[in-house]
Chains A and B, each alone.
Chain A
Amino acid sequence: MNTQGPIARLVEELARLPGVGPKSAQRLAYWVLRQDPQRVQALASALTDARTNVQRCSACQDLTDRDPCVICADPRRDHSTILVVEEPRDVQAVERIQEYRGVYHVLGGALSPMDGIGPEDLRVRELIQRLGADGVTELILATDPDVEGDATALYLAKILRRPDLKISRIARGLPAGADIDFADEVTLARALEGRVEV
């Protein structure tokens, strides 16, 4: 294959996508080249549109095309209860169950010192601000049930503790298809029994 010119550039860009290696990038590039120009135009504008118009909700930090997001703007939802999750996809997962009526806060990850992720790398400050202003009475920590998610929940419980705020921890149901190590889950469940005072 020519190593410069438009095809090479396309392969180079596609290979940056997560989970796409050079071989698949090449296959995708040839797929693009076989399509109608309109089809490719639609794909290109979908990419730019999404990137330009999707931003973070100034309240919950979830991804949205309007600010505040649909959930934060909905008066029928209970704004006194905040469910704290790691990623935007966690909001989607909880919404699908259609049982939770409160609002969310998306941290954008979990504490992981060995990956260089400390509190300042998460949207913790924004959460503190919301707690100061919004008349929030309940906080549900629903970070992932792994070492990093547990550490994040325990950290938040500690720094956010105050008498008029109920803080609880739930280990959210695991997403379908995830690689589950059952033995580990048992270990962690023990850690979350609350035997150690938060």
Chain B
Amino acid sequence: MILEQLTVGGWRNLEAVSLEPAAGLTVISGANAQGKTNVLEAMAAVITGTSHRALRDDELITAGEIKARLSAKFRRPSGSFEQTLELERAGRKSRRREGKRVVPGADPLGDPMVVLFCPEDLVLVQSGPAGRRRFLDREVAQATVGYSAAQRSYQRIWTQRNTALKRGEGHVVDALDLLWAQAATRLTRLRRQLVEALAPLAQKAYAAMAPFDPALTVRLAAGTPAEDPQVALAALRQRRAEEEARRISVLGPHRDDIQLTIGDNELRAFGSQGQQRTAAVALKLATVQLLQEAAGVRPLLLLDDVLSELDGRRRELLAQQVREGQTVLTTTDAEFLPERMRADSWWEIQSGKVAVHGTA
């Protein structure tokens, strides 16, 4: 699936513009704080419906505007379609495909997919588990139809149950326990399957970048003690006293983590910074491959200023990926582009204004 056109209005500092990314590599250059990341953010948001970094939607709307609108034209083998994201300051948000509300997974011809790689992702391995769960939920999960519904459903049950615990409503907590057991085990199973599919791909990518290291293993450290609802329920009920004392759910997918080890060493605690960064790149590359295998088309790859952060081998491997599908990357300096990363389209951005410099 190719992003053929993106029309941006009222988004962050960007001037209203209609952009046509190349089917291959588009490079966006510009000094810091000119709006490079905002363009990538818009490309990802029109696909996923949310920003990867905004805490609230109204941050995304240009100061003085009442709404932001993104409209993207995608082409797939069966034809092309338009997908829009509209945000209003009052909090209303609408995602539409060809004018109809977007229901993830409902389109039999497939949804557009995106993998975004930014400098903050390089600490994916050493930072806290929340970042790794977000990585699973936002990116890897695009490979599973029905995942986002399962995740939202669990989230809601978890919130209701936590509130019932705080309010001391024991019988209501009991009722929610049953829903919890179904939703938590379902989400755990989906996540474990995703991580199991990702693991060999990540191991291969890691070995290509660090051939002298022991193998990288990737597994889900589940916060739910079992995948059978009855067993999970029994375990949950055993912890009730503790939960009532702490007034919070102590088991469940909200405590999941991705565990990464090199040989016998847990990477997060014992890896060198170089190993941790290599593993982060490997996870991203593995995600691109996994999505490609799942859907038959490579996801849109967005690289936000990461090349300057990487050294030789890791940059080379990323460059290989760039050649295989549609990629948009930002850089402050063209010097960071490896020799064989020839741009098909080159944009420059200054104070939110995008100028197209040339297409090959």
Contact = CB atoms under 8 A, between A and B. Distances in A.
A114 B169 contact: no
- B interface SS class: helix
Which of B101, B157, B233 has the most chain A CB atoms closer than 10 A to its own CB?
A: B157
Given A182-B106, A191-B179, A158 B174 contact: yes
Nearest to A195: B229
Given A118-B167, A155-B172, A196 B230 contact: yes
Nearest to B230: A196
A179 B101 contact: yes
A32 B152 CA distance: 44
Interface string A166-194: 00000000000001011110111011000
A113 B160 contact: yes
Given A114-B163, A186-B146, A159 B183 contact: no
B171 A119 contact: yes
A155 B175 contact: yes
Interface string B163-194: 11011010110111011011100100000000
B33 interface: no
B104 interface: yes
B163 A154 contact: no
B181 A187 contact: no
Contacts of A113: 160-161, 163-164, 166-167, 169, 172
Contact of A196 (B101, B157, B178): B178
B49 to A, nearest CB: 13
Given A114-B163, A181-B149, A196-B181, A187 B186 contact: yes
B178 A198 contact: yes
B355 interface: no
A111 B153 contact: no
A148 interface: yes
B129 interface: no
Interface in A131-150: 147-148, 150
State the majority secondary structure of interface residues on A: helix
Interface string B127-153: 000000000000000000110111011
Q: Which of A111, A113, A158 has the most CB of B within 10 A?
A: A113
A181 B169 CA distance: 29
B159 interface: yes
A179 B100 CA distance: 12
A187 B149 contact: yes
A28 interface: no
Nearest to B104: A183
Interface string A103-129: 000000001111000110000000000
B23 to A, nearest CB: 31
A10 interface: no
Contact of A151 (B149, B152, B160): B160
B167 A190 contact: no
B52 interface: no
Nearest to A190: B182
Interface of A: 111-114, 118-119, 147-148, 150-152, 154-155, 158-159, 179, 181-184, 186-188, 190-191, 195-196, 198
11 contacts: A114-B163, A118-B172, A119-B172, A147-B153, A150-B179, A181-B103, A183-B103, A183-B148, A187-B150, A191-B183, A195-B229
